[in-house]
Structure 1
Amino acid sequence: MQTVLDFVYPHQCVMCEAQVEDAGGLCGPCWRQTPFILGLCCDRCGAPLPGQSDRAESCDDCLAMARPWSQGRAALIYRDKARRMVLGLKHGDRLDFARPAAAWMRKVAPLRPGQVVVPVPIHWTRMVRRRYNQAAILSHEIARAQGLVCLPQALVRRRRTPLQDGRGVAARFENLRDAIAAHPRHGRALNGAEVLLVDDVMTSGATLAAAADACLAAGAARVDMTVLARVVKDA
């Protein structure tokens, strides 16, 4: 039956209408325009690094500022088709992007047995407008495929922060100061847990840092993070 369905309704590239062999796959041209992060990368934020090494390395940004999480990985560089995917998932109701995106994230994420998967929260006013939190969608897909527990309500945005666009690094961190906290009830599950924090894109890391600090303040034993895409200065 599946063979018949595949013949009648052939799989299409997730970025265009070209036919592909597998569901959730990319055609050749779209694959070449999707900047996957391969090889050596920063152990804290996943940004690509030059050269080859068997040791854990950190990028200049992560050497310059302390990160409250232990390890971090990104699947893509935020440009070209990766940028289109992030924006489509975030603002364009392209929830069909979530499953392949989560699969790419799982390949690089610092996964550990028994982790709980926690999305970076959005403010309830933005939830009303968007109707969903893209980080929560990605978290559910990662947790489902890995057999992990997802805690979509563990963190809350205590206030609606202005958009980060156009702000410098210091201003981005100040904008997120005390904006994210553990939920008074659902956040109790963070106590003693090893957390995989999930978001769609990382720029300065201010939002992820605020979320990681909230997890640690709630008693998390360890916080790691993964994002779909990482903004890279020279990308």
Structure 2
Amino acid sequence: MTAAAPRWIELPVRAGRFALDAVLPQRCLSCDRRVAPEGGLCAQCWQEIRFFEKPWCYRLGTPFSYDVGEEAWSPQAIASPPVFGRLRSVAPYEGPARDLVHALKFHGRRNLARPMGSWMARQGSEFLGPDSLIVPVPLHWLRLLSRRFNQSADLARAIAEECGGHYEPALLKRRKRTRQQVGLSAEARRKNVRAAFGLDEARPGDVRERKVVLVDDVVTTGSTVAACSRVLLNAGAASVDVLAFAYARPSDG
């Protein structure tokens, strides 16, 4: 049994925490309201986020209105089976979930990657493990230069720290600079990312027989993660599953 810390040690620690909270009060990760010392989301934002829960589509992780079986597929997955194995995401791309993505991606709130990655790791627990290769969807080097960081890489790093997997930020490369996917139709998105990705030429065998978890901040039509998955599977990956923070097409059951 571990002995309790002496009271003379506990008092300065508590005082320090109180002083820090007074100077830098904890704020809601989404709306910036003041929250409890442990931080996170405020009560209102917690209520507004529709966290995905089972029962859900085995392939896409989209929720069903009732339980139809552990490995049931949604109509969307049946009509158009994905290239990758399974997709899991935290919440639909709306409300506070969208605010969190925008704050990380467009406003440089990189401190959000750790809590967001922690939520993602819980959602992907069925396929995450110490033997997983955690691979972020890459940015083109020109876009990385202008943005200064890759939000998907920050999320992938946080996920790897949670599950003990192997973080591989440079394994996938974006070979050509593509248009932003926002506002494009599903067909235009597919054409936009065609032949856009490839493996690091110095590491052609690094994914062979490995379980890969591909990480992105948002999945909409799935064109980007499908293009990346093809590259990884063609290189010999044993499996490719996808983990995203938000999914823009949540309703399937």
Identify the TM-score tier after normalising by the shorter chain: over 0.9
Which residue number in structure 1 is paired with residue 3 of structure 2?
none
Cα deviation 1:125-183 (Å, max 9, x = unaligned): 11011001111000000101211110000001110111222222222112111111111
Structure-1 separation of matches of 2:109 and 2:37: 21
Aligned to 2:54, the other structure's residue is in SS state coil
Residues 77-118 of structure 1, C-alpha deviation per residue, up to 9 Å, x if partnerless? 100000111111111101111111011101111314411100
Pairing 1:7–2:23 present: no
Alignment match, 2:34: 18
- Asked if 1:80 is matched to 2:91, the reply is no
Task: Give the Cα separation in 2 of the matches to 1:34 and 1:165.
Answer: 22
Report if the CA contact (8 A) 2:134-2:213 is conserved: yes
Find out whether 1:29 has 2:44 as its counterpart: yes
Say yes or no: does 1:48 pair with 2:59.
no
Change (3 A) 1:175 1:111: same
The aligned residue for residue 221 of structure 2 is 204
Task: Report how many aligned residue pairs link the two structures.
Answer: 234
* Stretch deviating more after TM superposition (188-197 or 39-48): 39-48
Counterpart AA for 2:98: R
Q: Structure 2 CA distance, aligned partners of 1:121 and 1:155? A: 6
Could you list the structure 1 runs, at least 4 aligned residues long, displaced by more than 4 angstroms after superposition: none
Q: Does the 8 Å CA contact 1:143/1:149 hold for their aligned counterparts?
A: yes
Q: Any idea what SS the aligned residue of 1:189 has? A: coil
Given that residues 46 and 230 in structure 1 are in contact (C-alpha distance below 8 angstroms), is that contact kept between their aligned partners in structure 2?
Answer: no
User: Aligned-pair RMSD on alpha carbons?
Assistant: 1.8
- Could you tell me how far apart the structure 1 residues matched to 2:221 and 2:13 are? 45
Correspondence for 1:144: 161
Q: Identify the match of residue 118 of structure 1 among 111, 135, 148.
A: 135
Identical pairs, percent:
32
Structure 1 residues 78-87 or 112-121, which shifts more?
A: 112-121
Report the TM-score, using the length of structure 2 for normalisation.
0.86
Indicate if the aligned counterparts of 1:106 and 1:142 stay in contact, CA closer than 8 A: yes
Partners of 2:77 and 2:29 lie apart in 1 by 33
After TM superposition, the structure 1 stretch with the greater mean CA deviation from structure 2, 220-229 or 106-115, is: 106-115
Question: Whose Rg is larger?
Answer: 2
Q: State the AA in 1 paired with 2:18.
A: F
Partners of 1:2 and 1:36 in 2: CA distance: 35
For 2:53, the equivalent position in structure 1 comes to: 38
Q: Which amino acid in structure 1 is aligned with residue 20 of structure 2?
A: Y
Q: Secondary structure at the match of 1:68?
A: coil
Secondary structure, in 3 states, of the residue corresponding to 2:205? helix
Q: Give the distance between the partners of 2:57 and 2:251, measured in 1 at CA.
A: 15
Answer yes or no: is 1:59 the counterpart of 2:74: yes
